[in-house]
Amino acid sequence: MDLEPLPSPEHDPMLGLTEAHHELRERVDRFATEHLDPVIAECEAEERFPREVLQKFGETGLLGGTIPSEQGGPGLDNISLCAMVEELGRRSQVFAGMVGGMSTVFGAGLLRYGSDDQRSRYLQRFARGESMGAFALTEARSGSDAAGMETAARKVDGGWVIDGAKAWIDFSTVADWFLVFAQSDPSQGRHGICAFVVERGTEGFSTSEYRNKLGWRLGSVGGLEFDQCFLPDTALVGEAGKGYEIAMYSVGYGRLQVGARLTGGIRACLDESREYARSRRIFDKPIAELQLIQTKIVDMGIALDTGRYLTYRFARMLDEGHIARREGSMAKLYTAEALMQVAHDAVQIQGARGIGEDSVAGRMFRDAKVSEIVEGSNEVQRTLIAEYELGIRRPKRR
């Protein structure tokens, strides 16, 4: 008996997706089947980001996500962004994160706070897949406590001089430009932080890459070094001292694509587990008939629906003009923990096969662990949600 495909989001009336959302999802699925699926395993093994596939995706006109058409993007709504990133997240968390990050964590800061010149210089080429951006907040001694950064920005005639180093930055060796945060006045704390765009090739700026990581193998993650790096005044994004606000806005919005890609990962694990459970026979019957296997499948199905509801709810609230930080934290926290558990169970269902290089669940397992740490760790999200629930932090509705 053929296995019914897993429900995709448009089949769920709770999500209220339109025909246009449905068509977009199918388009992305066709693209990914043709261009991404054939290279993913090889890129994982080589720890290489498939930039050529990103460029090809740029030709679809969808890459810019929610970047408006006046800025060269397709101007998608946030629900569309979720549908697109969920499809890509079934294949690769990193590729989905790059595409989803375009209009959120990488591009949103420039879109909202950047000058006209910065927007036209970076976002338009970005949306066509001709250039790649990255987001550089973390340092060796400041991750969750981002405001404790030590990279320094010193005002000089006609610009700024940056000194210091960033750590664990996605696409460090492949991105063309970086949104970099630096402290201009430690006495002002977070209000002294500034945001800059730094282009690869700028004198005094260099990058490195970390190899053999547990997960995020496509991510070209590494360090950035600034040694007396001069940036012209035009590299400052927004006003001096607004950097922390820009970072938090970008990361807060970025949680949308994180929830969507993790939901896609849950779907991929469930899909692989269902097929395997039905085809693998032991003790003279398919393991799908064993109740201890069935309970894992049940939990995966519930995780898929819950992750989707939380993520698409966040998207809908953003589309309605809400800021929805509480909902964003809930979507990010839930989907990260859910994919960790789902991928764990999906590997277990496949026994030894789950450990092999062909296992999608194995890849999701590695990337789920990373997702529990990045873009606000589980503990940070729990702290934020607790503050909203207890009234210590007020939800900003619009």
Ligand X SMILES: Cc1cc2nc3c(=O)[nH]c(=O)nc-3n(C[C@H](O)[C@H](O)[C@H](O)COP(=O)(O)OP(=O)(O)OC[C@H]3O[C@@H](n4cnc5c(N)ncnc54)[C@H](O)[C@@H]3O)c2cc1C
Positions touching ligand X (CB under 6 A) are: 135-138, 143-145, 168-170, 216, 219, 221, 370, 373-374, 377, 379-380, 383
First to last CA, the chain: 50
Helix (H) or strand (E) holding 7: none
Nearer to ligand X, 49 or 312 (CB): 49
In the complex with ligand X, which residue's Cβ is closer, 156 or 214?
A: 214
Amino acid at the residue 229: C
Phi, psi (rounded to 5 degrees) for 189: 60, -135
Task: Report, in Å, the least distance between residue 131 CB and ligand X.
Answer: 16
Task: Give the rounded distance of the alpha carbon of 339 from its chain centre.
Answer: 14
Q: If DSSP codes are grouped into helix, strand and coil, which group holds residue 147?
A: helix
Which of 47/77 has CB closer to ligand X? 47
Distance CA 68, CA 102 (A): 12
**How far apart are CB 383 and ligand X at their closest, in Å?**
4
Q: Give yes or no for a contact between 120 and 71, defined as CB atoms under 8 angstroms apart.
A: yes
Q: Which amino acid is at 329?
A: S
Q: Annotated catalytic sites, by residue?
A: 375
Which parts of 93-176 are beta strand (E)? 133-136, 152-156, 159-169
Cβ(329)–Cβ(353) under 8 Å?
A: no
Minimal CB distance residue for ligand X = 143
Distance separating alpha carbons of residues 153 and 241, to the nearest angstrom? 11
Q: How many residues does the chain have?
A: 398
Closest CB 27 distance from ligand X, rounded Å = 28
- Cα–Cα distance, 260 to 378 (Å, whole number): 17
Distance CA(387)–CA(373), nearest Å, equals 20
Residue 266 beta carbon to ligand X: minimum distance, rounded to whole angstroms: 19
Question: What's the min distance (Å) between Cβ of 47 and ligand X?
Answer: 12
Distance (Å, rounded) from C-alpha 112 to C-alpha 89?
26
Please, which residue, 300 or 330, has the CB nearer to ligand X?
A: 330
Q: What are phi and psi of 142, to 5 degrees?
A: -145, 110
Q: How far is the CB of 144 from ligand X (least distance, A)?
A: 3
Cα distance between residue 366 and residue 350, in whole Å: 16
Nearer to ligand X, 148 or 159 (CB): 148
Q: Which is nearer to ligand X, 101 or 354 (CB)?
A: 101
Distances in Å between the Cα of 211 and the Cα atoms of 170, 197, 206, 208 are 12, 26, 17, 10
Smallest separation, CB 370 to ligand X (Å)? 5
Rounded CA separation 57/24 (Å):
13
Cβ distance to ligand X smaller for residue 79 or 108: 108
